[in-house]
């Protein structure tokens, strides 16, 4: 069986940015949305280090807000730099996915 771990790692940052760009959100909600989208094996332990890295890079910012269900939650928001990175990720993803789909479809990118 093909191990999707490395493939998934390379795309999660961009997917997280896309989720955050839609609305301010917190870690558990990001995990839930990723799982709903099909990343069934993604856990909080995978997401939180990515969120820390994205925050250190300045592409997301965070603030604590009161939660109706207990302790405060850390909410994440995309910065301007994050919006630029998301756009760059989408362009790169479109290019790579096109190439891979072409190779898988007919095995040759070159016209004969």
Mean pLDDT score of the chain: 90
pLDDT tens digits, residue range 85-96?
Answer: 999 999 999 999
Residue 110 in this model has a pLDDT that exceeds 90: no
Percent of the chain past pLDDT 70, that is, above it, reads: 95
Per-residue model confidence (pLDDT) at position 109: 58
pLDDT tens digits, residue range 4-24?
Answer: 777 777 799 999 999 999 999
Residue 112 in this model has a pLDDT that exceeds 50: no
Instruction: Annotate the chain with three-state secondary structure.
Output: CCCCHHHHHHHHHHHHHHHHHHCCEEHHHHHHHHHHHCCCCCCHHHHHHHHHHHHHCCCEEEEEEEECCEEEEEEEEECHHHHHHHHHHHHHHHHHHHHHHHHHHHCCCCCC
Fold of 5-106: Arc Repressor Mutant, subunit A (1.10.10)
């Amino acid at each position: 069986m093909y191990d999707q771990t490395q493939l998934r790692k390379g795309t999660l940052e961009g997917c997280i940015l896309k989720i955050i760009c839609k609305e301010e959100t917190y870690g558990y909600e990001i995990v839930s949305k990723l799982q709903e989208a099909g990343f069934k094996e993604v856990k909080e332990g995978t997401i939180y280090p990515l969120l820390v890295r994205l925050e250190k890079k300045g592409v997301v910012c965070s603030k604590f807000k009161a939660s109706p269900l207990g302790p405060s939650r850390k909410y994440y928001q995309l910065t301007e730099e994050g919006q630029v990175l998301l756009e760059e990720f989408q362009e790169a993803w479109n290019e790579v996915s096109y190439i891979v789909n072409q190779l898988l479809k007919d095995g040759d990118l070159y016209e004969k």
